[in-house]
Amino acid sequence: MQDSNHDNHHTENVQDHLKQVESLLHKHALLEMVAHRQVIPREDRHVVVDSLLHKQHLAELHRKLDDLHPADIAYILEALPIDQRLLVWDLVKSERDGEILIEVSDAVRDSLIASMNREELSAAAGQLDTDELADLAPDLPQNVMRDVFKSLSIEEREQLREAMSYSEDSVGALMDFSMIHVREDITLEVVSRYLRRFDELPDHTDQVFVVNREDKFIGVLPINLIVVNEPELSVSSLMLTDTIQLHPEEKADQAAQAFERYDLVSAPVIDEDGKLVGRVTVNVVLDFIRTESESDLLNQAGLREEEDIFASVWKSAQNRWLWLALNLCTAFFASRVIGGFENTIEKFVALATLMPIVAGIAGNSANQTTTIIIRSMALGQITQGNARRLLIKELAISGLNGLVWGGVAGLFAYFLYHNVALGVVMTSAMLLNLLVGAIVGMIIPLALQKFGRDPAIGSSVMITAITDSGGFFIFLGLATIFLV
Amino acid sequence: MQDSNHDNHHTENVQDHLKQVESLLHKHALLEMVAHRQVIPREDRHVVVDSLLHKQHLAELHRKLDDLHPADIAYILEALPIDQRLLVWDLVKSERDGEILIEVSDAVRDSLIASMNREELSAAAGQLDTDELADLAPDLPQNVMRDVFKSLSIEEREQLREAMSYSEDSVGALMDFSMIHVREDITLEVVSRYLRRFDELPDHTDQVFVVNREDKFIGVLPINLIVVNEPELSVSSLMLTDTIQLHPEEKADQAAQAFERYDLVSAPVIDEDGKLVGRVTVNVVLDFIRTESESDLLNQAGLREEEDIFASVWKSAQNRWLWLALNLCTAFFASRVIGGFENTIEKFVALATLMPIVAGIAGNSANQTTTIIIRSMALGQITQGNARRLLIKELAISGLNGLVWGGVAGLFAYFLYHNVALGVVMTSAMLLNLLVGAIVGMIIPLALQKFGRDPAIGSSVMITAITDSGGFFIFLGLATIFLV
């Protein structure tokens, strides 16, 4: 039974693996309790038949883990609480440590690295390619990096230095060095002979790169063309020269868009002298896109970085504090705006009940505007030509919303307090604040981008600050003029 | 000069293409004005030398567009206002219409299809593969679909029916039918001869699929293995049997996770009888992931679907209304909660200035909790075993935040109004409402998922409703008891 999992692990769902590991860990924990003569919960006693089982279960867990793909182990490690995570981590065969460390999220990686000593870390790092090592390097202690560096060849040291020299959001950071290159003046026959000298080609080799005698990139030769064409044809007659070329300093985001747009599997990376320095493959782009979109969602809620869901309360709280502190400041400011109208509210307490409506709806509407604008900006679709046009459109939508929903809110106020003037003030304040929302919802992301900041971060705090304080000011101000 | 763009369009940035097209359109518009004897703005007069230029500019635009990849044209169409968009659309060679319609976003596709007649649409649809046709079908008029259906072979009709039978979020919807399959009992030599009969292999053919005499899937043979191995080896000796298999009814999301985790380029799709029915390729997965992550961001802001940024005010407003209406309802409810405490506020108007702080910060904190939980749920990392543990952790974080930020807010209240009891009420209300936020931030997404709803949609309205109304109720309630 224990071996029945062996051959079909890829067709199973990774969640099933997680459940199996959890159940084995549960049994293991119970057996530990037996070993330490602790009291076992009644419903779990049937599991503990015999203390021989203890070793059996651990062995079963071991086997189960050996069967799994490193990415699946990474997934399971992320889903386990720290104590169980470290138990499983100890059971994983040490020759796979490197691969798994590359796969886990940054937060979880920290917890794993903290449990390893210098020798283990050096051994794990030694299993990696230079481009993977560059990703891991910032998390490794300096003495480990020194060990690793010593063990590299001169070429590998050069690659590692290069890979680490690029900023995290550049093509250079996505690049690997496992590309195959050939000369243009040979035949497919010769290329095939050359390729047969490899036991296997590097992953994602959908094309080999064609370079001239000075190592300058001149084109690509898709593997599929080698397969469908006669062996006597020359590389130069088949190679494609009109292809995507990436540059190491280019934004990773641009490269990702190129992969999506042109359906690439791999693309050459060329330096300013026209030399082939590496390649980017689609699996790395996929990870990049997923990570980016996740950090967009996290940033929107003011989470500074991905959280290990089992991190300590203290660590998680720190991840969330900046955002709460910022929001508290803007809330204090809004509170002082209201404070300026205390006399008005004292005379007309209905205002206190209605003012959150004015602030809230404009905030929602402004966030819709910003979401649309930030998305179009990310796609590069906002040009000087259409920015004014879009602002007018957003103002028109807000005007329409102001009449419709402001009207509804005005009626709500009128029916509650039987005061026509209050209803009119409510509608006018909604309309004005929605217009304010459209303007700031459009201008703040554009301004952040102009100053070189990421518009997805921070836009929403600023917008909410303005629609809140602005809404209170407009509504209470109009009320002071027309009602009191 | 006009031909200098011709060969290097892939190395240029797509934003540059957009700028070039915009500038050509601008010149074109000026020349149209000349033709109609309109007044040209002074700063633009230098462009209009001669009415011969008119045709020249249009021809240049035409050439420019012919040079571009369909995906780039799609991008440009999305970034242009409707009138210019339709002008460019008319200039695109009609034999590329189909490809481009597949590439543009749904919203923009509607505007393009609306400008085409039955013959044009049938011709465009006729250029597509059956899996692409299945994507386009819901947007096409019925009579066009009838024309297209008649023109298909029996096999293609069967494929189209199959592709259209799967729900949008299933593997079946991502699948294409351009897979190559071979038998296990032949040699690589024979496979190579078979492959050479193709002019080119279908895109993303990184492996051929191995089937037995009943068309049942038995394994895959990576193209790279054909390349590196000796021709006399047999398929059965090299094929991999322990590989990912997708099923057409499986969730597309699961397939995307498999592509990410195992770095796939293509994967076979197998039906319940073990027959090979199609394949999924990484480019489709990339689009799927991008679309999903965008719709997450849009849904968070309450945008029901992707907006054509140049859609009419009316259409855009409708896209945003449901959200605003929902929020208005919850705001009305919160307003009535405050209304219940009008007497208290009348006696103690400071409460009106402080109450938005209590509501707002808890809302922010609850949204942080929900974001973390929804992300972990999407990854399948929340199990029965750890859900309680996570709730306790979130409560602990909120408790800590309540003491820290509630304390700050309490001091703020005290220093403003020199009232110790007010400060204590403020701190207590913040603490309690943050705890409420942690509970609802955790339970609402879990409950939505339990009832089969997407937790990313609607969680935030419900959470804000509770932290707002709850915050007002707790703060004003405590104030009524202890201050009045």
Note the pLDDT tens digit of each residue in A141-197. Answer: 888 888 888 889 999 999 999 888 898 889 999 999 999 999 999 999 999 999 999
pLDDT of residue A350: 94
| Nearest in space to A252 (alpha carbons), one of A168, A132, A170 | A170
Give how far Cα B314 sits from Cα of A271, A374, B307, B320, Å: 49, 21, 12, 10
Residues ≥6 apart with Cβ < 8 Å to B447: none
pLDDT above 90: percentage of residues in chain B: 50
Kind of pairing between the strands at B181-183 and A217-222: unpaired
Name chain B contacts of A377, Cβ cutoff 8 Å.
none
* Domain A313-482: which CATH number of 3.40.50.300, 1.10.357.20, 3.30.750.210, 1.10.3720.10: 1.10.357.20
Q: Which of A90-94, B313-317, B467-471 has the lowest mean pLDDT?
A: A90-94
pLDDT of A9 strictly over 50: no
The HSE-up count of residue A254 (CA atoms within 13 Å, CB side) is: 19
| Nearest in space to B393 (alpha carbons), one of A106, A85, A316 | A316
Where in chain B is CATH 3.10.580.10? 181-300
pLDDT in tens, B276-300: 999 999 999 999 998 888 888 888 8
Q: Enumerate residues 125 to 164 of chain A having a beta carbon within 8 A of any beta carbon in chain B.
A: none
Burial per residue of A8-41, b for 16 or more beta-carbon CB atoms within 10 angstroms, e otherwise: ebbeeebbebbbbbbebbebbebbeebeeeeeee
C-alpha span between B483 and B427 (Å, rounded): 14
Measured between CB atoms, does B324 come within 8 Å of chain A?
yes
Residue with token string 């067709």: A11
C-alpha span between B130 and B155 (Å, rounded): 10
Q: Which long-range contacts (CB under 8 A, 24 or more apart) does B260-264 make?
A: B260/A283, B260/A286, B260/A287, B260/A290, B260/B289, B261/A14, B261/A69, B261/A71, B261/A72, B261/A75, B262/A10, B262/A69, B262/A71, B263/A203, B263/A204, B263/A283
pLDDT of B46 strictly over 50: no
C-alpha span between B346 and A46 (Å, rounded): 65
What confidence category does residue A48 fall into, taking pLDDT thresholds of 50, 70 and 90?
very low
Question: How many H-runs (helices) and E-runs (strands) does chain A carry?
Answer: 22, 5
Handedness of CA B148, B149, B155, B156 (dihedral sign): positive
pLDDT of residue A4: 37
Measured between CB atoms, does B360 come within 8 Å of chain A?
yes
ipTM of the complex: 0.85
| Site from A335, A376, A386, A422 to mutate, B interface, most B CB atoms within 10 angstroms | A335
CB B263 within 8 A of CB A203: yes
Q: Which long-range contacts (CB under 8 A, 24 or more apart) does B307-312 make?
A: B307/A372, B307/B107, B308/B78, B308/B105, B308/B107, B308/B108, B308/B110, B308/B111, B309/A372, B309/A376, B309/A381, B309/A386, B309/A390, B309/B78, B310/A386, B310/A389, B310/A393, B310/B80, B310/B81, B310/B82, B310/B85, B311/B107, B311/B111
pLDDT of A457 strictly over 50: yes
Kindly state the tokens that stand for A18. Answer: 């997680």
pLDDT of residue B378: 82
The average confidence (pLDDT) of chain A is: 87
pLDDT of residue B2: 36
Angstroms from A146 CA to nearest CA on chain B: 31
Task: Please tell me which of the candidates A227, A303, A386 has its beta carbon nearest to residue B81.
Answer: A386
Q: Enumerate residues 452 to 471 of chain A having a beta carbon within 8 A of any beta carbon in chain B.
A: 468
What confidence category does residue A344 fall into, taking pLDDT thresholds of 50, 70 and 90?
very high
Kindly state the tokens that stand for A455. Answer: 């518009």
pLDDT of residue B83: 82
Q: At what angle do helices A52-67 and A14-35 cross, to 10 degrees?
A: 160
pLDDT of residue A438: 96
CB-count burial class (<10 Å; 0-12, 13-18, 19+) for A338:
buried
pLDDT of residue B4: 37
B378 phi-psi bin (left φ>0, alpha ψ -120 to 50, beta other): alpha
Residue length of chain B: 484
β-partners of residue A187 are A234
pLDDT of B8 strictly over 60: no
Residue with token string 């209201």: A338
Q: Do the chains contact at A356 and B352, CB–CB below 8 Å?
A: no
Name which residue leads in pLDDT, B224 or A42: B224
Name chain B contacts of A339, Cβ cutoff 8 Å.
350, 353, 416
Where in chain A is CATH 1.25.60.10? 14-168
Name chain A contacts of B193, Cβ cutoff 8 Å.
none
**What does the angle CA A167 – CA A119 – CA A203 come to, to the nearest 5 degrees?**
50
CB B121 within 8 A of CB B113: yes
Angstroms from A261 CA to nearest CA on chain B: 6
Q: For B465-470, what is the mean pLDDT?
A: 96
pLDDT of residue B52: 55
What confidence category does residue A34 fall into, taking pLDDT thresholds of 50, 70 and 90?
low
pLDDT in tens, B372-423: 998 888 877 787 777 888 899 999 999 999 999 999 999 999 999 999 999 9
Q: What are phi and psi of B239, to 5 degrees?
A: -65, 150
Q: Enumerate residues 296 to 315 of chain B having a beta carbon within 8 A of any beta carbon in chain A.
A: 296-298, 300-303, 307, 309-310, 313-314
Q: Enumerate residues 233 to 272 of chain B having a beta carbon within 8 A of any beta carbon in chain A.
A: 241-245, 254, 257, 259-263, 265
Domain B14-167 of CATH type 1.25.60.10: yes
Name chain A contacts of B296, Cβ cutoff 8 Å.
293, 297
Measured between CB atoms, does A4 come within 8 Å of chain B?
no
pLDDT above 70: percentage of residues in chain A: 92
Residue with token string 């370079």: A211
CB B260 within 8 A of CB B293: no
pLDDT of residue A49: 45
What confidence category does residue B7 fall into, taking pLDDT thresholds of 50, 70 and 90?
very low
pLDDT in tens, A376-425: 888 777 877 778 888 999 999 999 999 999 999 999 999 999 999 999 99
What confidence category does residue B234 fall into, taking pLDDT thresholds of 50, 70 and 90?
very high
pLDDT of B185 strictly over 80: yes
H helices within A36-105, ranges in order? 52-67, 70-79, 82-91, 97-103
Which residue type sits at B180?
I
DSSP string of B282-331, one letter each residue: HHHHHHHHHHHHHHHHHHHTT--S---TTS-HHHHHHHHHHHHHHHHHHH
Q: For B143-167, what is the mean pLDDT?
A: 89
Angstroms from B229 CA to nearest CA on chain A: 6
C-alpha span between A221 and A237 (Å, rounded): 10
DSSP one-letter code for A264: -
Measured between CB atoms, does B218 come within 8 Å of chain A?
no
C-alpha span between A414 and A470 (Å, rounded): 22
**What does the angle CA A338 – CA A339 – CA A344 come to, to the nearest 5 degrees?**
75
Give how far Cα B134 sits from Cα of B10, B78, B137, Å: 29, 22, 5
Q: For A435-463, what is the mean pLDDT?
A: 90
Kindly state the tokens that stand for A27. Answer: 């049994």
Q: Do the chains contact at B282 and A287, CB–CB below 8 Å?
A: no
CB B442 within 8 A of CB B390: yes
CB A209 within 8 A of CB A183: no
Q: How many CB atoms lie within 10 A of CB A422?
A: 21
Where in chain A is CATH 1.10.357.20? 313-482
Q: Which three-class secondary structure state does DSSP give residue A306?
A: coil
Task: Give the distance from CA A311 to its chain's centroid.
Answer: 18
pLDDT of residue A96: 87
CB A375 within 8 A of CB B296: no
* Domain B181-300: which CATH number of 3.30.390.10, 3.10.580.10, 3.20.20.70, 3.40.50.620: 3.10.580.10
Kindly state the tokens that stand for A349. Answer: 């307490």
Q: Which long-range contacts (CB under 8 A, 24 or more apart) does B220-224 make?
A: B220/B268, B221/B182, B221/B191, B223/A223, B223/A224, B223/A227, B224/A200, B224/A201, B224/A205, B224/A223
Handedness of CA B48, B52, B53, B58 (dihedral sign): positive
pLDDT of A227 strictly over 60: yes
C-alpha span between A389 and A395 (Å, rounded): 10
CB B204 within 8 A of CB B278: no
pLDDT above 90: percentage of residues in chain A: 50
What confidence category does residue A39 fall into, taking pLDDT thresholds of 50, 70 and 90?
low
pLDDT in tens, A133-155: 998 888 898 888 888 888 899 99
| Nearest in space to B192 (alpha carbons), one of B230, B238, B154, B146 | B230
Class of domain A14-168: mainly alpha
| Site from B75, B353, B365 to mutate, A interface, most A CB atoms within 10 angstroms | B353
CB-count burial class (<10 Å; 0-12, 13-18, 19+) for B272:
exposed
DSSP one-letter code for A202: P
pLDDT of residue B168: 86
Residue length of chain A: 484
| Site from A8, A194, A379 to mutate, B interface, most B CB atoms within 10 angstroms | A379
pLDDT of residue B45: 46
The average confidence (pLDDT) of chain B is: 87
C-alpha span between B445 and A136 (Å, rounded): 34
pLDDT in tens, A252-285: 988 999 999 899 999 999 999 999 999 999 999 9
What confidence category does residue B65 fall into, taking pLDDT thresholds of 50, 70 and 90?
confident
Q: What end-to-end distance do the CA atoms of chain B give, in Å? A: 82
pLDDT of residue A87: 85
Q: For B262-284, what is the mean pLDDT?
A: 94
pLDDT of residue B388: 86
